[in-house]
Amino acid sequence: MHGDLDAWLDAGTGTDAEFVERAWRLVVRRRVDDAARERALAALADGSLSRSGLLRELVGSQEFAEVAALDGAVAGAAADRSAPRSVRGPARPRGIGAPASSDERPVEIRWCLARYDGEARVLDVGYAFAEPAYLAGLVGLGAPELVGVDLAEAEVPGLRPVVADVRELPFADGSFDLALCISTLEHVGRDNDVYAVDAPRDDSGDEAALHELRRVLTSGGRLLVSVPTGAAEDQGWQVQRTPDEWVAVFERAGFLVFEDELYLHAPDGWRSAAPDEVVGVAYGASGPGAGAVLLAELHPRTLGERVRLAVRDVRHRGDARRGTRPT
């Protein structure tokens, strides 16, 4: 380890090819593609670019800005979890921001990871294509049991992978205390060819997935979910519903909305939004990814949870926790 670090700090050691590989891994967290490697090596060879100059280019790139935004979201979630709280329960940050140049991931990641509250058994749905920063933050929660389920398989140290359809989970009832489903529910039952996976098509796949997630959660468990929202759209590979339609789907699957928040991709960046601000927002209309997202903490609908929600809304009437309906 120390030898590798010393070699990296001494920019004069190693070949240009080794330096290029290290630079991409360090700055943008991925392997360098063939075309970029050839361009960099040619520029380093003819002296038109120095090693420091290459690093400056990478740090100034949009790709690095995206990596930094994701890292910032993971770090922000950790800070939220460790901050002193005046009430029991998980941190529940709201009004999160993100750059206009980014997609919805920084907001989703911070909102969801901040709400981890020490649960022992955690399930993540759709982990295989998730950003490395999110996976690092997920593993960093330190949950004693962390399981990832997806139609594809990926090796993530600290996470037990399970290849399965979220509509037919191979787990017993009440197997998990917390489940996370970030930007995944809208793809269930849709055309997944873009992800090189095959699964039965089903226009109500998202609702079927929610029923299964309800089944594998404990009675006091929670589901943290994020979905694109705005105008109702079926793009084949995903579905986008209005906020009220998503809430109806959640409730038909046996959940109640304990907390939710809408976010809008505005010209000056991502911000919390009121329901009327996301009406008619199309997917991809204002930049990369969704134009608006709905983030929600769902609890299995039981009498006890209904009472708990009613008491919370009365006790904290000045601190609204649901944005899709009057509190």
Q: Domain of 259: which CATH number?
A: 3.40.50.150
Q: 150 and 271: one domain? A: yes
Let me know whether 161 and 39 are in one domain.
no
Residue 71 lies in a domain: no
Choose among 189, 209, 249, 193: nearest CA to 123.
Answer: 209
CA dihedral 66, 72, 74, 80 (to 10 degrees): -150
**Where are any strands of DSSP class E within the chain?**
121-125, 145-150, 160-163, 176-182, 217-228, 233-234, 239-240, 255-266, 269-273, 292-300
In a domain, residue 80? The reply is: no
Residues 48, 171 within the same domain: no
Q: Looking at residue 3, what is its pLDDT?
A: 52
Long-range contacts, stretch 229-233, CB < 8 angstroms, 24+ apart: 229/262, 229/278, 229/281, 229/290, 229/292, 229/293, 229/294, 230/278, 230/279, 230/280, 230/281, 230/282, 230/283, 230/290, 230/291, 230/292, 231/279, 231/280, 231/281, 231/282, 231/283, 233/282, 233/283
Asked if residue 75 is part of any domain, the answer here is no
Same-domain pairing of 189 and 264? yes
Same domain? 23 vs 130:
no
Digitized pLDDT (tens) for each residue of the chain, 327 residues in all: 455 556 555 555 789 999 999 999 999 999 999 999 999 999 999 999 999 999 999 999 999 999 999 999 999 999 999 999 888 889 999 999 999 999 999 999 999 999 999 999 999 999 999 999 999 999 999 999 999 999 998 999 999 999 999 999 999 999 999 999 999 999 999 876 655 566 677 788 999 999 999 999 999 999 999 999 999 999 999 999 999 999 999 999 999 999 999 999 999 999 999 999 999 999 988 877 899 999 999 999 988 888 888 888 877 777 778 878 643
Residue 11 located in a structural domain: yes
Report the pLDDT value the prediction gives residue 125, as an integer from 0 to 100.
98
Q: Count structural domains, the chain.
A: 2
Those residues with Cβ within 8 angstroms of residue 238's Cβ, 6 or more apart along the chain or in another chain: 186, 187, 190, 228, 283
- 306 occurs within a structural domain: yes
Length of the chain: 327
> Please, is 10 exposed, middle or buried when counting C-beta atoms within 10 Å of its C-beta (0-12, 13-18, 19+)?
exposed
Residue 201 is predicted with a pLDDT of: 78
Domain residues for 164?
A: 87-315
Q: 277 and 233 share a domain? A: yes
Compute the C-alpha angle 281/270/182, nearest 5°. 80
Strands 217-228 and 176-182, how do they pair?
parallel
pLDDT at 196: 54
The residue out of 60, 77, 105 marking a domain boundary is 60
Let me know whether 107 and 199 are in one domain. yes
Residue 22 lies in a domain: yes
Q: Is the pTM of this model over 0.85?
A: yes
Determine, yes or no, domain membership for 73.
Answer: no
In this prediction, residue 1 carries a pLDDT of 47
Residue 294 lies in a domain: yes
Distance CA 69, CA 85 (A): 25
Looking at the fold, whether 251 and 102 belong to one and the same domain comes out as yes
Apex CA 294: angle with CA 266 and CA 211, to 5°?
160
Residues 37 and 163 in one domain: no
Residue 131: per-residue pLDDT: 92
Residue 8: per-residue pLDDT: 52
Q: Are residues 107 and 181 in the same domain?
A: yes
Does 236 lie in the same domain as 176?
Answer: yes
What is the pLDDT at residue 195? 52
Buried b (16+ CB within 10 A) or exposed e, 184-215: bbbbbbbebeebeeebeeeeebbbbbbebbbb
The verdict on 94 and 186 lying in the same domain is yes
